[in-house]
Amino acid sequence: MNVANVTVGEQRQALTTSTLAFTVCFAVWTIFSIIGLKIKAELGLNDTQFGILVATPILTGSLSRIFLGIWSDQYGGRIVYTFQMIITAVAAFLLTKVSTYPMFLVAALGVGLAGGSFAVGITYVSTWYPKERQGTALGIFGMGNVGAAVTNFGAPFLLIFMDGKWQGVAQVYSIILIITAVLFFLFTKDDPALRERREKGVKHASFIEQMEPLKNLQVWRFSLYYFFVFGAFVALALWLPRYYVGAYGLELKTAGMLAAAYALPGSIFRALGGWMSDKIGARRVMYWTFGVCVACTFIMSYPATNYSVAGINGPIDFNITIPLWLFVSLTIILGFFMSLGKAAVYKHIPVYYPGHVGSVGGIVGLIGGLGGFFLPISFGIMNDVIGVWTSCFMLLTILIGIALIWMHFSIIHMNRKDLPELKGPRYLPELDAIRNGQS
């Protein structure tokens, strides 16, 4: 792919419009984190049913990524992005016309198409930039995750403005999304790769050919990384409002603002993660991400404990739990390093699979998105069965530990494959000098 004839203005235009569109899509994708609480009360749902409801859009958004990514490679991101937003806007509007739990789940599947925008966006944006700048560009595009913060912060106030009617919130979101789709189509151009194929009369790769890289175990390892840095990010963005209401007894508006405090750094620093991946290497950024995140979730896993000890004037009751200020601080740190990790994962893809960004990026995004589907359901089930609010962070600690171990040993294996001498004993200059009688 030749980007030599692409101007800086065209690059900026493609990146800006794609990022803004992704922000709107992500806000729509996580809408159930707020209106879901109203629907929960309206239908009398338990935590498991609520977890399924908020996770259902994530399922569609995840599964659609592989197909939308491949179609973007084949037909161009501009047209695919536009149609994806229009269909999602219609689904968001139809959501307001249902009244039963099964129908809410069906409507939520349609709303979930908003999440597929990520695979379209990375395919479209990456074609405008050379390899040495793709990490930064994709990091900036990934800042569209801030849409989750927009929903967690803004939707509660919009809900108040709508006199508590969640239907009004969904309708406003659908109108904004349809306007975004029209503006995106008007202010963008076909990507360079598509134009080059048209000029040369080259046919696009078939679906089977696009799926060829998925045979590599490395792709699935990247997917596990993304299952946490993105999937768990989405899951917590959806779950934290409920967590704050249930575990700390906060009002919905306050819970939404604190959840936004987590989602905001989990989005806006993705550009920093892309820049760092370009400068110091994506592998090092991933080590930092997993190391800090496993420490945070381990601390957050500590359950509230009530016990009594004998005192002079009778028993003294104690309640040990994580103070709210510390918990919120840890979520902010967690979100920050997740944002770095999200950018680092996608820095790998154009480098290793330059001709298959859509398919590989799609499957990585699919698996990551499935984390956003399965994890909220798991959180709800553990709450109903175990009854321990912090059990969700226990699960995340185990997940990060597995990803960190797999990454570390895979890197060791690759290093030994590239440098066979590392398979033998460690090279120790001091020991060799002693053996040779030089000291």
Q: What is the pLDDT along the chain (439 residues), one digit of tens a residue?
A: 556 577 888 888 999 999 999 999 999 988 888 888 888 888 898 888 888 888 888 888 888 888 888 888 888 889 999 999 999 999 999 999 988 999 999 999 999 999 889 889 988 888 888 877 877 888 888 888 888 888 888 888 888 888 888 999 999 999 999 999 999 999 998 888 777 777 766 665 555 666 666 677 788 888 889 898 988 988 898 889 888 888 888 888 888 889 888 988 877 787 788 888 888 888 889 999 999 999 999 999 887 655 444 555 555 444 446 888 999 999 999 999 998 998 888 787 777 777 676 677 777 877 887 888 889 888 888 888 887 888 889 999 999 999 999 888 888 877 776 655 545 544 444 434 444 444 3
Looking at residue 332, its pLDDT comes to: 94
Longest CA pairwise span in the chain (Å): 90
Looking at residue 306, its pLDDT comes to: 52
Rounded CA-CA distance 192/404 in Å is 37
End-to-end CA distance of the chain: 58
Residue closest to 148 by CA, chosen among 218, 231, 69, 77? 231
Looking at residue 358, its pLDDT comes to: 66
Q: Is the dihedral of CA 321, 325, 328, 333 positive or negative?
A: negative
Rounded CA-CA distance 29/283 in Å is 29
Q: Say if residues 242 and 37 touch (Cβ distance below 8 Å).
A: yes
Please, what is the angle between helix 391-418 and helix 217-226, to 10°? 150
For the segment(s) 8-435, the CATH number from 1.10.10.10, 1.20.1250.20, 1.10.287.950, 3.10.20.30 is 1.20.1250.20
Place of tokens 């690759």: 414
Rounded CA-CA distance 383/375 in Å is 12
Rounded CA-CA distance 413/292 in Å is 24
Q: How far is CA 386 from CA 47, 267, 375, 380, 392, in A?
A: 12, 32, 15, 10, 11
Looking at residue 420, its pLDDT comes to: 57
DSSP state of 231: I
Looking at residue 428, its pLDDT comes to: 42
Percent helix, strand, coil in the chain (nearest 5)?
Answer: 80, 0, 15
Looking at residue 433, its pLDDT comes to: 45
Looking at residue 437, its pLDDT comes to: 46
Looking at residue 113, its pLDDT comes to: 92
Give the pTM: 0.69
Burial class (CB in 10 A: 0-12, 13-18, 19+), 23: buried
Q: Residue type for 258, please?
A: L
Q: Say if residues 373 and 32 touch (Cβ distance below 8 Å).
A: no
Looking at residue 317, its pLDDT comes to: 45
